[in-house]
Amino acid sequence: MALENKLGITDSSELARVEEKISKTKALKLFETGLLDTFEVGTFEGLSKIHKYLFDEIYDFAGKIRDVNIAKGSFRFVPVIYLTAALDNILKMPQSDFDEIIEKYIEMNVAHPFREGNGRGARIWLDSILKKELRLVVDWNKVDKEDYLSAMERSPVKDVEIKVLLKAALTDKINDREVFMKGIDASYHYEGYNVYKTENLKNEQ
């Protein structure tokens, strides 16, 4: 059964395809129009705007804090009852160097503030912080899916692995369209979305 959506799609695999196509197209527009650079950097407010822009055509809950508890495998994300407090704490976290930025990203991942689409939104959010503070972004195309997922799973307990992995993939090509597009494709691939290439969607806007 598919997640409740604005498009009335009931088949989960069809919803995944449509969601990928629409939100990847929106991600590219977010970059190309410069809209992304107008959002607050390193705040939940900024992340919420990214999420709403990507998923607003698909889900009523786009950009809104979730009201259900969620888990992935055996890992439980922050319970709803503590979610607002967790987001307040994340807001206060510093973001002046690489380690601080990744620590903030890990905490936002543990918070998992939305019903769906957390990882894809948060990786764009992370790059926005890196871009502003360090003039760098992650070239996600260089980050292996399995390495990333296992490092993120362990990150709340031990963050050295994800830091090493992402540090090795940093690039100063912060405004490079190809780096961004391939990064979106890689980011979606981590979550099992790999039907469309962002490069091919640009002609359909």
pLDDT tens digits, one per residue of 139-177: 999 999 999 999 999 999 999 999 999 999 999 999 999
More confidently predicted of 201 and 112: 112
Q: What is the pLDDT of residue 73?
A: 83
pLDDT in tens, 71-87: 988 889 999 999 999 99
Rounded Cα distance between 112 and 122, Å, is 9
- Alpha helices (H) along the chain: 12-32, 44-55, 80-92, 98-111, 118-134, 145-154, 160-167, 177-190, 198-201
Confidence of residue 13 (pLDDT cuts 50, 70, 90): very high
Contact 185, 120 (CB under 8 A): no
Structural domains of the chain, with CATH: 13-193 (1.10.3290.10)
Rounded Cα distance between 36 and 178, Å, is 16
The answer to whether residue 9 scores a pLDDT higher than 50 is yes
- Mean pLDDT score, 106-120: 97
Query: Across all residues in the chain, what is the average pLDDT?
Result: 95
Q: Mapping DSSP to helix (H, G, I), strand (E, B) and coil, where does residue 24 land?
A: helix
Rounded Cα distance between 167 and 102, Å, is 10
Rounded Cα distance between 2 and 185, Å, is 23
Q: What is the pLDDT of residue 204?
A: 55
Min mean pLDDT across 3-17, 81-95, 113-127, 189-203 is at 189-203
Q: Checking phi first, is residue 65 left (phi over 0); if not, alpha (psi -120 to 50) or beta?
A: beta
Q: What is the pLDDT of residue 205?
A: 47
Closest CA to 197 of 173, 181, 180, 177: 181
